[in-house]
Amino acid sequence: MNKLIRFCIKHKIPVFMAVIAFVAIGIFSAFTMKMDFLPTLQKRKLLVAAEYEGIAAKEIKTLVTIPLEDAFGSLTGLKKISSVSRDGLSLISIELHWGTDIDIALVECRELIDTAYSILPARCNKPTVKAIESINECLTIAMIPLDNDLKYGRYIADYDIKPRFQRVKGVGLVSISGGEKEQIEVRVSKDKLDSRQLTLESISNVISSTNFEYPAGTITEGEKKLSVKTSGLYTDITQIGQTPVLYNEGGLLRLSDIAEVVDTVEEKETFFLYQGKECIKIGIKKKSDASPLAVSKEIKNEIQNLKKLYGNYYSFEIINDLSEQIKSSIVALLISAIIGCIAASFVIYYFLKSLKLSSIISTVIPICSLVSIGILNLSGKSINVMSLSGLAIGLGMVIDCSAVVIENVQKKYISESNSKNELTDFEIISSAVGEVAKSNIGSTITTVIVFIPVFFLKGILGELFIDLAIAIISSIIASCVLSLTYIPAMCSLNTESLKKNVNNSKLVNYLETKYSLILNQLFRKKWIVIVIISTCVVVGVSSLFFIKFELLPSLNSNTVIADISFPQ
C-alpha cells in the first residue's frame, strides 16, 4: 500500500489522467444510459389463448379451459393460474414464482400444450402461449375530430396513425379505443325472402362469392414479369344492391329487390370522453428494454408530423405522459443530491478554513458519483429512482476517507514543524496517508459487506435493490481508492494550505467543552446510558407493531380512478 501511495505522490499526471478517464466514462454513461422510474423487472407471466369459433362461453369453459388448466398444473415454477372463458375464446393467465426462467417456462408450456391438444375438440385451434409483462401505458393520447366524425376518425386511427406509432423505435403495443367502426348492413326482408324460397345462408354465399379478387396468372414481356388478377371487390355501397341473387322465369332478381343495404356503424364496445367530448383514445406501451423518455420523445415528434398532416381535421392532446413523472422524480432526487453536496462542502470549509482543501475534498463527491454511474452502465442497469437513491445515500459517506487523510496530513505537518526532524513534503504526506490507509480500507470493507447480501436476495426485493447496492458499493470503493491515490497527489500540490495551523471556531470549542462535561457525568453515572439505550430499543420494537409495511412508498397522484362493477 505504501508503494502505491508513494507512486501517486511522485507521478501526479498519470493519476490525474486516470481520474479524468473515469470521469469521462461516467459523463458518457450519464447521457447514454436508459432512464426509467424503477429497475427492469423480470417477466414472470404467461398468457395462453385458444380459439374455438362458434362455441358459447359455457361450453368453452368445459371443453377447452378446464382441460388446459389441468395440463398446466404440473408446470415448473407455477404460482397462480387464472382463466377467462368468452364466446369462441379461452384465455389462461399463468403467474410464475420469482426467479423462474421465463424461457424454460415457455418451452415447457409449449410441450404441455402439444400433449393437451390431442384431448381438445376437433375444430379448436391449437393454443398459443407468450410471455407478457404488466407495463402501464407510457403515453395516452386523445385524438379529437374537429368535425365530430367519429367513424372516419376511427378509420384513420386504425389504418394510418396506429401503424405510424408502431414503427417508432421502442414502442411495444398501440391500442385504439373509442370512436365508431364502419359496418355495412344488408337488411333482408323476411317476407320477400320466404316468397322466393331463399335463405339467409344463400344470400351470404352470393355476396361473398361476388366480392373477391382472384389471381389469373402472369404475363412475361422480355425481362418483365407481370401478375394478372381479376378484381371483383365492391368499390361502392350501391354495387352491393345490384348484386344478382337469382335468375329464373320471372327474370333477374337483384339484392336490392329483397333487402336494404345500409352504411352504418358497429355496436360500440368502448367509448372515450375527454373534457366532456367523445373522441378516440390512443394508448402506447413501450417495450421492456426501451426507455420511456426516449419513446416519449419519438412519439411527440411523430405527433408534430401528424399535426402538420391532419391539423385541420383532428386535434391531438397528450393526456398522460409517464416520462414527465419520471423526469420530475429524478430531477427532485438530483436536486436533493446537489443540495447535500453543497451542504457537505460548506461543512468541510467551516472546519478546515481553507478553500483549496475544501475544494479538493468536494471534488471527490462528483468523481465518485460519475464512477458509480459508469459501473451501473457496465452492469447493464439504468438510471432510476433506486440507483439514484444509492448515489444520494453514498454522497454522505464518500468524503469520509478523504477528510480523514487530509486531517492527518495537516496534523503531521503541525507535529513536524514543532519537532527538530527535517522531513520532506513527500515523506510527510506518504507517512500521514499510510497511517490511516488501513483504517480507511477497513471502514470501507465493513460498509461494503453490509450491502453484499442484497445480491443474494430472491424475488422482487433482489431485482429492485441490486441497483441501489451497486451504486452505494461502487461509490464507497471509489472514495477509498481516491483517498489513497488522488488525495495524496493533490496534497503534494497544496502543501502551503496544509501547513497552516487552523484554530477551531468558538462554536466548536463550546461544543467540545460541553461534550467533555456530559461525558464526565456519564462516566460517573453509567446507568443513565443503559436507561437511554433500553428506552430507544423498547420504542423501536414497539413501533414495529404500528408502522405500515409496504414494498414501495405511496406516490402522490393527480388522477382519480373509479371502478364500476355491473352484474353479468
101 Cβ contact partners less than 8 Å away, ≥ 6 residues apart? 77
Query: Three-class SS of residue 36?
Result: coil
499 pLDDT exceeds 70? no
- What pLDDT was estimated at residue 418? 66
What is the residue-wise DSSP string for 206-252?
A: HHHHHS-EEEEEEEEETTEEEEEEEE----SHHHHHT-EEEEETTEE
Instruction: Write a three-state SS string for 117-149.
Output: HHHCCCCCCCCEEEEECCCCCCEEEEEEECCCC
Burial of 302 (0-12, 13-18, 19+ CB in 10 A): middle
Average pLDDT over residues 329-348: 76
Burial of 499 (0-12, 13-18, 19+ CB in 10 A): middle
With vertex at residue 61, the alpha carbon angle to CA 57 and CA 62, rounded to the nearest 5 degrees, is 120
137 pLDDT exceeds 70? yes
279 pLDDT exceeds 80? yes
- What pLDDT was estimated at residue 96? 87
- What pLDDT was estimated at residue 487? 86
Any bridge partners for residue 196, and if so which?
none
Sign of CA dihedral 9, 11, 16, 22: negative
When pLDDT is cut at 50, 70 and 90, the band that residue 134 belongs to is low
When pLDDT is cut at 50, 70 and 90, the band that residue 556 belongs to is low
Instruction: Select the more confidently predicted residue: 25 or 382.
Output: 25
Average pLDDT over residues 8-13: 84
- What pLDDT was estimated at residue 142? 92
Any bridge partners for residue 285, and if so which?
173
How far are the Cα atoms of 247, 358, 359, 366, 395 from residue 346, in angstroms, in the given order?
Answer: 99, 8, 10, 15, 14
The owner of cell 486531517 is 407
539 pLDDT exceeds 90? yes
Please write the tens of the pLDDT for every residue from 351-395.
777 778 788 888 888 888 889 999 988 988 888 888 888 888 887
536 pLDDT exceeds 90? yes
Highest mean pLDDT, choosing among 18-22, 342-346, 507-511: 18-22
- What pLDDT was estimated at residue 421? 65
Phi, psi at residue 557, to the nearest 5°?
Answer: -140, 150
402 pLDDT exceeds 70? yes
The percentage of residues in the chain with a pLDDT greater than 70, rounded to a whole number, is 95
557 pLDDT exceeds 70? no
The percentage of residues in the chain with a pLDDT greater than 90, rounded to a whole number, is 10
Q: From CA 69, how far away is CA 84, in angstroms rounded?
A: 11
When pLDDT is cut at 50, 70 and 90, the band that residue 17 belongs to is very high
Average pLDDT over residues 232-236: 81
- What pLDDT was estimated at residue 542? 92
Instruction: Select the more confidently predicted residue: 216 or 277.
Output: 277
Instruction: Select the more confidently predicted residue: 327 or 104.
Output: 104
Highest mean pLDDT, choosing among 202-206, 344-348, 357-361: 202-206
* Mean per-residue pLDDT of the chain: 84
Q: CB of 76 within 8 A of CB of 104?
A: yes
Whole-prediction pTM: 0.69
- 239 sits in the region (left: phi over 0; alpha: psi -120 to 50; else beta) called alpha
- What pLDDT was estimated at residue 199? 85
When pLDDT is cut at 50, 70 and 90, the band that residue 420 belongs to is low
CB atoms within 10 A of CB 365: 25
When pLDDT is cut at 50, 70 and 90, the band that residue 526 belongs to is confident
